Amino acid sequence: MNNQPPRQTLARLPTPLEPLRRLSKKYKKNIWIKRDDLSETAMSGNKIRKLEYIVAEAQQNDSDVLVTWGALQSNHCRATALVAAKLGLRSHLILRGDPPQEADGNLLIDQIVNSEITYSTPEIYNMMDDSYYELENSYRKKGLKTFRIPVGGSDETGLWGYIKCAEELAIDFSTSGFHPEAMICATGSGGTLGGLIIGNEIHQLDTEVFGVNVCDDRQYFENKIKTDFDLWTRKYKCLEEKPSLPINIIEGYVGQGYGKATPPVFETIREVAQLEGILLDPVYTAKAFHGMISEINNGCLASFQDILFVHTGGIFGIFPQRKGFFNL
Ligand SMILES: Cc1ncc(COP(=O)(O)O)c(C=O)c1O
């Protein structure tokens, strides 16, 4: 495909595509999984695919410091910190929340990598432009150039990560003989779903793509993904004649909010671990998996027989929520 931006190879690709045999039997569907949790070890998950394109742009700009935002337990921030270290760059993370007495999960890794961390109140966190310009200035005075990466790496450049994944899936489908009618992923900032929707069109996967939102709501993600599509079309001049691509958000599984998992989500983690030997996380993938099973049982996925779950990683998010497993 023409007009593709540069890419810095970081992930271990292709990731495996596997059947979930016991879960398929239990739920009377053919459920397969794309193991993007295996895209790397510490840098694992969906974010590394987006960062391959984002960081290539940062390198083109001769940047020294990757600046990004997220929750205290952000997988995206952890992946950014590790990627920066791997490439000999610095990272500066603006994290929403107070510094805990003892770091755990992703935050522990951010600290081990020695990423610069600014802990921020929700009000200041939302003033991203102001905080970025301040940081940009202070680094400039030290002779360092910053590069701004949006929350979750979801922008027109990051979209390429999952457009590329769709290309990989086209090969997976033809070698495995599994052609899903529906494909599902967790949606937190929209870039994974957005990339899969465009990739589904470009690489003719001929599947319906769904995202289970783990925060915000359907309207928010429809707007966000549409905006990213428009920016992408303008910047890369691809699919300019694009039909209006469907953005299917499955709502109803946020629970009490971002990062807050209900007992059925922890039960889902146990079930998938016990039946398939695969770990999901309580913030993203288990919420989405729980949503998928609920919709298979009684909802918008009931009519599909062959279903693919895209495992987007997040394993380090299990540990800070260990108490959830004992409240069942
Ligand atoms: C493990 C994991 N899965 C899914 C998502 C959601 O992906 P996206 O932000 O592209 O919607 C994220 C990040 O937000 C994540 O860290």
- Compute the distance between CA of residue 187 and CA of residue 191 in angstroms, rounded to an integer: 8
Mean pLDDT for the stretch of residues 61-82: 98
Instruction: Quote the mean pLDDT of the chain.
Output: 96
- Compute the distance between CA of residue 79 and CA of residue 51 in angstroms, rounded to an integer: 8
Closest ligand 1 atom to residue 211 Cα is 11
Neighbours of 237 (CB within 10 A): 10
Contact 156, 236 (CB under 8 A): yes
Mean pLDDT for the stretch of residues 178-200: 98
By CB atoms closer than 10 A (0-12, 13-18, 19+), residue 235 is middle
Using 50, 70 and 90 to split pLDDT, how confident is the model at 273? very high
Show the ligand 1 pocket: residues with CB < 6 angstroms.
45-46, 75-76, 152, 154, 186-193, 281, 284-285, 312-314
Domain limits, CATH 3.40.50.1100, in the chain: 17-45+155-326, 47-153
Cα-only R_g, the chain: 19
What pLDDT, on the 0 to 100 scale, is given for residue 239? 81
Closest ligand 1 atom to residue 192 Cα is 10
Query: In the numeric block, which tokens belong to residue 242?
Result: 């694009």
Nearest C-alpha neighbor of 286 from the set 210, 220, 214:
214
Question: What would the CATH number be for the domain defined by 17-45+155-326?
Answer: 3.40.50.1100
How many angstroms is it from 275 CA to the middle of ligand 1?
24
What pLDDT, on the 0 to 100 scale, is given for residue 128? 86
- CATH of 47-153 among 3.40.30.10, 3.40.960.10, 3.40.50.1100, 3.40.50.300: 3.40.50.1100
By CB atoms closer than 10 A (0-12, 13-18, 19+), residue 137 is exposed
Q: Is the pLDDT of residue 243 over 70?
A: no
Q: Which of 7-11, 123-127, 218-222, 232-236 is predicted with the least confidence, judged by mean pLDDT?
A: 123-127
Mean pLDDT for the stretch of residues 82-87: 98
What pLDDT, on the 0 to 100 scale, is given for residue 242? 65
List all residues 6 or more positions away from 7 whose beta carbon is below 8 Å from its beta carbon.
52, 53, 56, 160, 164
How many angstroms is it from 17 CA to the middle of ligand 1?
19
The model carries a pTM of: 0.97
Q: Is the pLDDT of residue 191 over 70?
A: yes
List all residues 6 or more positions away from 118 whose beta carbon is below 8 Å from its beta carbon.
92, 93, 94, 95, 131, 135
Q: Is residue 74 annotated as a catalytic residue, yes or no?
A: yes
Query: Hey, what amino acid is at 42?
Result: A
Query: Hey, what amino acid is at 119?
Result: Y
How many angstroms is it from 72 CA to the middle of ligand 1?
14
Chain segment 113-143, per-residue pLDDT in tens: 999 999 999 888 888 888 899 999 999 999 9
Q: Is the pLDDT of residue 82 over 90?
A: yes
Contact 314, 284 (CB under 8 A): yes
Closest ligand 1 atom to residue 187 Cα is 11
- Per the residue annotation, which of 74, 115, 120, 154 is the catalytic one? 74
Chain segment 134-180, per-residue pLDDT in tens: 999 999 999 999 999 999 999 999 999 999 999 999 999 999 999 99
How many angstroms is it from 41 CA to the middle of ligand 1?
16
